[in-house]
Amino acid sequence: MRPRTLVFVLVPVLLAARIGRAESVDAKERRARTACLGGDYAKGVQVLSELFVATLDATFIYDQGRCFQQNRRYEDAIARFQEYLRVERKFAKSAKAEAQKHIDECKDLLASERLHSPGVAPAAPPPVAPATAAPDPVSPTAVVNLPPVPPSQPNPPASGNAGSGLRVAGIAISSAGGAALLGGIIFNIKANSLATEIEKADGYSPGKVNDRKTYETLGWIGYGAGAAFVATGALLYILGSRAASEPSVALVPVCAPEYAGAAVKGWF
């Protein structure tokens, strides 16, 4: 009778232990999910690690990846999903595709987070060589303002050259004056000759009277111009002799049909 009693006693004990173990796994799974959803990913991952060690079920590694992903721990999530694919090689294609999908999502989210993180500066673009400025086209109507140019002043001749020039000019003008005087004398002689002929009884004619007046006028012009030229030439010769030590002065003869004279020109 005792052996039967022992069998009947061990069976309920084994069933109770199995039921208690099953309730413990379910309770830990609920506690792990609660911790992950509440933001306590460290506690949730710890409980899931205990469950994997106790059961060797790779699903708990997958759940760890999901816990990290829910709490924006993308690098840890990628590592857990890759470990899940490595440990469990007998997955269905749908399970492997689901794990790979989560890996791709985590990589995209991680790249976006790094791009928009204030602590990570975006890569600076390569420096661009400055463009060479093209020369401005010259407008045909452009006016260039230049400084005013002072009016040119005649350069005074050197004292030595000026004196020599004045002396030569004086001699030339005096010679011209002598020629003019000679011409005046000749015209005066002709005028007197005609006057003598007109005084004769048969020598009068209107043409001779007009010619005498013309010769007389030309004679006076010759006397006046000759005297002026001789005086101007003499003065120029004297000034030329003194030009080396005094300001340069020149007298320029001025002649007109009705008068003759001289103008003073020089550099001071």
pLDDT band at 79 (very low <50, low <70, confident <90, very high): very high
Rounded to an integer, the average pLDDT of 253-267 is 58
pLDDT digits (tens, 9 = 90+) for 155-202: 555 555 657 888 888 899 989 988 988 998 998 898 898 888 888 777
Domain segments of the chain as ranges? 7-116, 159-267
Residue 47 has pLDDT above 90, yes or no: yes
Determine the CATH number of domain 7-116.
1.25.40.10
Cβ neighbors of 230 (< 8 A, separation 6 or more) are: 173, 174, 177, 178, 181
Confidence of residue 13 (pLDDT cuts 50, 70, 90): very low
Tell me the percentage of the chain whose pLDDT exceeds 70.
63
Q: How far is the CA of 178 from the CAs of 96, 167, 187, in angstroms?
A: 138, 16, 14
Of the candidate ranges 49-53, 178-182, 201-205, the one whose mean pLDDT is the lowest: 201-205
Q: What is the pLDDT of residue 108?
A: 92
Q: What percent of the chain has pLDDT over 90?
A: 25
Reported as a pLDDT band with limits 50, 70 and 90, residue 87 is: confident
In the 3-class helix/strand/coil scheme, how is the chain assigned residue by residue? CHHHHHHHHHHHHHHHHHHHHHHHHHHHHHHHHHHHHCCCHHHHHHHHHHHHHHHCCCHHHHHHHHHHHHCCCHHHHHHHHHHHHHHCCCCCHHHHHHHHHHHHHHHHHHHHHHHHCCCCCCCCCCCCCCCCCCCCCCCCCCCCCCCCCCCCCCCCCCHHHHHHHHHHHHHHHHHHHHHHHHHHHHHHHHHHHHHHHHHCCCCCCHHHHHHHHHHHHHHHHHHHHHHHHHHHHHHHHHHHHHCCCCCEEEEEEEECCCCEEEEEEEEC
Compare 75 and 243 and report the one with higher pLDDT.
75
